[in-house]
Structure 1
Amino acid sequence: MQDGQTFFSLNKRLDWEQGYDANIAMSDQGFSIQQTDKYSIHRIVRTDELEGIPGIVDMTVGPGRKLILLDESASVWVYDDESRHRELLFRHGHELFSPQAMLASMADLLVIADAHEGSERRLAVYAISNGQTMWAVQEWEGLKLYPLAVNTKLKTANLLYVTVPLDIEIGMNGRPEVPPGGRIGIMQWSSAGEVLRVFEHEALSMTEATPLSKLQDRYYTAAADGTLALLDTQQRTVTVFHEDGREPLLFSLEQEGRFAGISIDTNHNLYIGDSGFAQQEGVTERFILKYRGNGIPADKVTGFRGRADKMTMDSRDRLYVFDRLSGQITLLDLRARTMLLEGSQLPEAVYFSADLDTGDTETIWHKIRLEANIPEETLVRFSYFASDESEGLIVGDYLNYTSYLTDPTIPVQTKVMATAGLWSEPILNPKDALIDAQGRYLWFKIELIGSEQKTPFIRKLRVYFPRTSLIQYLPPMYQQDDTHSPFLERFLAMFSTFFDDMEDRIDRISSHFDPDAVSGTYLEWLGGWLAITEHEAWGEKKLRELIKRAPELYKLRGTREGLLNMLQIYTGTEAFILEYFQFRQMQETSELRKLFAQLYGDNPYTFCVLLKPECVRTDAQRLIVESIIEDQKPAYTEGKLIVLQPWMYADMHTYLGINTYLSEPTLLTLDQRSSMPYNTVLIDVDRDKRMDIHTRLGLDSEIE
């Protein structure tokens, strides 16, 4: 309707990549603010609210995300926090382990390590289903085991890691201790109770004699595929072992805190908890620390600020944090969080465009149309400026605008401040807006402001030029009024957008009639033109082919060929049609007349459609086939559907090469004197004539 209107369109990734972006996630569909997965609280289990269960002293996560709890009476419970169902696995008084034991899980096995001096089972593995002992050990190669920490490998939970002293002596007080230079190692056990490997590092040696009692709650271990980590809370160090033989990594914890608990996710990131008291002097906030696999600190887990005495992680990277003091278990789940823009530390992003060049000076730009998804609590700001020159003054220097705006070496905050005087007033959340700019080149800036979890998403942008308006179709007096014409022009722009959209839909209306170009409801709508209502039974592929071949099929309607084609489209295989004239001569034989009448009928205006059973598996498919036969049959005729069965019955629908085949005999040998063909059908004769069991009316059953 408006002649001469052109536009720049940015709707592909390549178009947007001509500019410069900061904190933006680009995709083929558009762009948004970058997001990352961060831990936040999903559920809190307060074990003090569980009736009948004493205070919890340790926990682990078993199969099906069930919690396995050890209480202060040494009883073990299996608790489902979703259904709140609990079962007692080990009752008080079992004398297998003490309340000071440590728990870990290996698939459907429960590992209990107990360093208590009176314990006879220092390391034992039990079946979680019934508590049966799978294996238990007291020592290894003459070394009495004193487990200090226990954990299993993430995902492949068939390996067990137990931290133990490798050198033990009896001290002056008659109690066991680790001598000066004594080693602390991590033993790798298989699920069958076999030691596969021992991990050691010189940094884990004792500098002085240390009683075993003082080593309790000092070490924590965690394992993932290929990585094993040991936290020494007294030395404030983490030792990372690599199963591929690389040199172990040792790094120190520089942050303040009373550390306890360590875990590794599937990306080999390390998480370390803090067991400090909130009311302790100088302790204001507690965070879970996060380190990369190379020991470099990463962002803290700010979604949890509670006490952590133990941490464990399941195969889906869900983190469980146990606070022994309050008996509280917190489940942290990964959720998408909007990343912060460097410099502003706010959840926002900035995009600077390259120049849009019309080739003509003094071009009057018309409007923009932005396709975007802008959730609540988010915002999009669009700013622009135009010039006939590609260069201009920026912070005292004469620079090329595009080169400066798209230079990746210049910080985004520097660009924003240096070009603040160039941009127009921002248009907030624009979808269709007029712009007031004149010049050969146009530059624009898009600012995305998100929330903690949400971000705007930009899909497409069109920038129209030159300025056109419906006001040109009004009498000259409306165009020459300098006072009211600008307002009238903006008012008519709303109707201009409506007409533009309508013209676009009219231009693209033919695509809605192309069965290859539409899907879903549009395809069903086209199918409705052919009186097809059972869209789900046809499916998109068959429905699309039927619509494309409709002109050809309707010419053949009422013919044998037309019916075969329709059945071919729906069933995907060729049907067999048997008409009266094909067996009329055989029916004249007296001995076959009754048989043919039984199989095909004796009406010369009746025909039979034979289909294999895989074509008609359900009653719904049978109804569709019968409706096709009814719609496509010639007038004054009757069509019968016969579903063939893949076996041979005398005097029934048995057709050689169709549903019955002759082949070389293949025998199943039962013994040296008996054999049976592989396709023999065994039936129970005495079960005939019973409903739903070998009952075929007219063959072995009759209704009287």
Structure 2
Amino acid sequence: MQDGQTFFSLNKPLDWEQGYEANIHMQNEGFSIQQTEKYSIHRIVRTDELEGIHPIQEMTVGPGRKLFLLDEASNVWIYDDESRHRESLFRQGHQLFSHQAMLASMSDLLVIADAHTESERRLAVYSISNGQTMWAIHDWEGLELFPLSVNTRITTANLLYAAVPLDIAIGMNGSPEVPKGGRIGIIQWNAAGEVVHVYEHEAHRLEETAEIAALRGRYYTAAAGGKLVLLDAQLRTVTVFHEDGREPFHFKLEQEGRFAGISIDTNHNIYIGDSGYAQQEGVTERFILKFRENGEQFDKVTSFRGRTDTLLHDGRNRLYVFDRISGQISLLDLRARTMLLEGTQLPEAIYFSAELDTTETETQWHKIRLEADIPEETQVRFSYFTSDESEGFIDGEYVNYTGYLTDPGISIRDKLAATRDLWSEPILNPKDALLMNARGRYLWFKIELIGSEQKSPYIRKLRVYFPRTSLIAYLPPIYQQDEEHSPFLERFLAMFSTFFDDMEDKIDRISSHFDPDAVSGTYLEWLGRWLAITDHEAWGETKLRLLIKQAPELYKLRGTREGMMNMLKIYTGSEPFLLEYFQFKQMQETSELRQLFAQLYGDNPYCFCIMLKPEFVQTDAQRLTIEQIIEDQKPAYTEGKLIVLQPWMYADMHTYLGINTYLSEPTLLTLDQRSSMPYNTVLIDVDRDKRMDIHTRLELDSEIE
């Protein structure tokens, strides 16, 4: 219906770059209001409401978002905040560490550091599954360890860090202390308990002698992405160490507050908490401060306002904040937030176009068609003006319209104020809209995106049509000459014109709906129904697309071995194993094997077996689909049997060398540096005399105590 009609199309970044944008995030597929991620409180765990648990002194986060809590009775609890389930990791009265210990998690291990002078295990690593000690140390190279802070970094090697005094002396009262000028450093261990590196900086030398007990709560560490930071809360300084050997970076905190707790996210941003009391020194707002790795503060976690004693991130950038006084643990998640426009401080964005030039004066512009996603609580406003001249007066000055609108040196507030009389009334949320009273060689438009706190409209494509065409041209002249009613009739018929245009577009592109590589979702499922496939979820889009493409060849082979094997290969992604009667017929004729072969494969000469590995038949739905494929594709006079192989050797069952069974060299279970035992060797003791390394069977003739 648009014969002789042309349009300007803006559907890629290069098209939009000709104009001016403010607070817009441009992508290949379109644009929206710029967004950022900010922390919001997801859940608050009130540990004082947990029955049977003493007040919590320390916490950390383990795998699966499980919380590890240390109470003032030195009990360690594993707590799942989703199910509210809790269990104790150690028995009551274990005396392995004190209630002043610090916790950190390292994959499936729990690290406990205790600087208490009476503790024999200053640094110990335990298995989370059963509480077994993996390794523990009291000193290192003659240096007695007094951990002041501990944290981990989850990598392929799993690394552990502890801030400790590197210079120790015995004071007049017999207590250990750090002398004046003594160093505070960070020792790095691997998961096996071996020291990997020691980090030091001149800024962390004590100005005065201090007892070990006085240093508790002064130092905090965090590590992520090859960065290691050390916070001295008393001197209000932060040192950033680089694991690649670069010079450490040191900066001082200029902000007010009593700092406590430090953490790093995966983008190397540093977070520092505040442990001040609200009622002291007029403190009313205590935010978590956010710094770049160069020490520049650029944000606050405004969604959390409270005391911080422990601050840490998990592997997915979730933030955990522990307040020891109230016993509350706050869980914060990153959520998308719409950025505010600088000129208005509202969640919106504005786009000014360059001129659209038809090269002909007195052109009557027709309409726009906008492809956009407009969520609830958001809005798109489209305004325009036209002229036969590219220049004119704006705010009393004669300017080039495009030059003015796209000038980055003019603030968005000034542009909006100076051009407010040029624009037409805004069209709200336009999908298909006529451009009324739009006559001129040039057209400029303004798009305003109005977002909510978390959502933004998304513009995909814009088309501006010209010259004006209408279905009214197909009516008798009397309807076209009525100046009073023709404009209404033209707008009314424009709705039907849109329907016809859409219909013609669909007809032009109908062939693409039959191309399995070009369609997805419901269209692909629709094509699948042509092949009598109704269980689309069992196949998935990738397999279904491949099946549709190969359908002509597969249906030629239907009812043959080759056709069935090809169909199963498409579904499972692997070549199945097919065993037919003639392949084992000769062995079955041997009397001693006949019963075994009948048990494994049956004794029907028209029966065949399809054997698949267990990873291809993990659910009942997959089993039913495979059995249906076998039933549909097999020759009419035969019977198909599905056998799911198991990944182990079992006598008189389906065991096939090189398929689900392998022979390998014996490996040794190393007990220590001098002893080892082959754990994959079966030893039998006829006499049952409980002799190790001769013939031993657990729970038959041997016991472990």
TM-score, scaled to structure 1: 0.78
Offset from partner CA, 1:618-675 (integer Å, 9 cap, x none): 6645655655678xxxxxxxx42466999xxxxxxxxxxxxxxxxxxxx9999xxxxx
Aligned partner of 2:247 in structure 1 is 247
How many Å separate the matches in 2 of 1:625 and 1:43? 51
**How many angstroms does 1:172 deviate by?**
4.7
Gaps of 5+ in 2: 570-574, 579-602, 618-622, 644-662, 667-705
Offset from partner CA, 1:76-112 (integer Å, 9 cap, x none): 1111212221111234432222211111122222222
How many Å separate the matches in 2 of 1:193 and 1:564? 58
Aligned partner of 2:371 in structure 1 is 371
DSSP 3-state at the match of 1:490: helix
Aligned partner of 2:430 in structure 1 is 430
How many Å separate the matches in 1 of 2:228 and 2:558? 71
The answer (yes or no) to whether the contact 1:526–1:547 under 8 Å persists in 2 is: no
Q: Which aligned pairs between 1:291-690 and structure 2 lie closer than 5 A?
A: 291-436=291-436, 437-514=438-515, 517-526=518-527, 528=529, 539-541=543-545, 543-545=547-549, 570=567, 620-621=625-626, 623-624=628-629, 627=632, 639-641=636-638
The answer (yes or no) to whether the contact 1:54–1:73 under 8 Å persists in 2 is: yes
Aligned partner of 2:180 in structure 1 is 180
Aligned partner of 1:20 in structure 2 is 20
Offset from partner CA, 1:458-501 (integer Å, 9 cap, x none): 11111111122233333333333333332332233222222222
- Cα distance, 1:565–1:489 mapped onto 2, change above 3 Å: farther
How many Å separate the matches in 2 of 1:548 and 1:398? 69
DSSP 3-state at the match of 1:214: helix
AA aligned to 2:132 is Q
TM-score, scaled to structure 2: 0.78
**How many angstroms does 1:228 deviate by?**
0.9
Aligned partner of 2:689 in structure 1 is none
The answer (yes or no) to whether the contact 1:369–1:430 under 8 Å persists in 2 is: yes
- Cα distance, 1:536–1:197 mapped onto 2, change above 3 Å: closer
Instruction: Indicate yes or no: 2:37 matched with 1:40.
Output: no
How many Å separate the matches in 1 of 2:562 and 2:95? 78
AA aligned to 2:549 is E
The answer (yes or no) to whether the contact 2:561–2:634 under 8 Å persists in 1 is: no
The answer (yes or no) to whether the contact 1:103–1:150 under 8 Å persists in 2 is: yes
Larger Rg: 1
DSSP 3-state at the match of 1:299: strand
DSSP 3-state at the match of 2:312: strand
The answer (yes or no) to whether the contact 2:380–2:447 under 8 Å persists in 1 is: yes
How many Å separate the matches in 1 of 2:225 and 2:86? 31
AA aligned to 1:457 is Y
Aligned partner of 2:290 in structure 1 is 290
The answer (yes or no) to whether the contact 2:568–2:629 under 8 Å persists in 1 is: no
Aligned partner of 1:581 in structure 2 is none
How many Å separate the matches in 2 of 1:96 and 1:546? 66
Aligned partner of 1:81 in structure 2 is 81
**How many angstroms does 1:148 deviate by?**
1.4
Q: Which moved more, 1:440-449 or 1:18-27?
A: 18-27
The answer (yes or no) to whether the contact 1:149–1:220 under 8 Å persists in 2 is: yes
**How many angstroms does 1:412 deviate by?**
3.3
How many Å separate the matches in 1 of 2:634 and 2:132? 65
How many Å separate the matches in 1 of 2:529 and 2:197? 70
Percent identity (aligned): 70
- Cα distance, 1:55–1:506 mapped onto 2, change above 3 Å: same
The answer (yes or no) to whether the contact 1:626–1:641 under 8 Å persists in 2 is: no
DSSP 3-state at the match of 1:300: strand
The answer (yes or no) to whether the contact 1:76–1:91 under 8 Å persists in 2 is: no
How many Å separate the matches in 2 of 1:94 and 1:530? 67
DSSP 3-state at the match of 2:417: helix
DSSP 3-state at the match of 1:298: strand
- Cα distance, 1:502–1:91 mapped onto 2, change above 3 Å: same
DSSP 3-state at the match of 1:125: strand
AA aligned to 1:61 is V
How many Å separate the matches in 1 of 2:560 and 2:175? 95
Gaps of 5+ in 1: 577-598, 602-607, 631-638, 647-666, 671-704
How many Å separate the matches in 1 of 2:565 and 2:135? 63
DSSP 3-state at the match of 2:413: helix
Instruction: Indicate yes or no: 2:172 matched with 1:147.
Output: no
- Cα distance, 1:308–1:530 mapped onto 2, change above 3 Å: closer
Q: Which moved more, 1:386-395 or 1:615-624?
A: 615-624
How many Å separate the matches in 2 of 1:164 and 1:241? 16
- Cα distance, 1:74–1:534 mapped onto 2, change above 3 Å: closer
**How many angstroms does 1:316 deviate by?**
1.6
Aligned partner of 1:55 in structure 2 is 55
How many Å separate the matches in 2 of 1:548 and 1:103? 63
DSSP 3-state at the match of 1:640: coil
**How many angstroms does 1:70 deviate by?**
0.7
- Cα distance, 1:621–1:77 mapped onto 2, change above 3 Å: closer
How many Å separate the matches in 1 of 2:547 and 2:152? 54
Q: Which moved more, 1:18-27 or 1:377-386?
A: 18-27
- Cα distance, 1:113–1:456 mapped onto 2, change above 3 Å: same
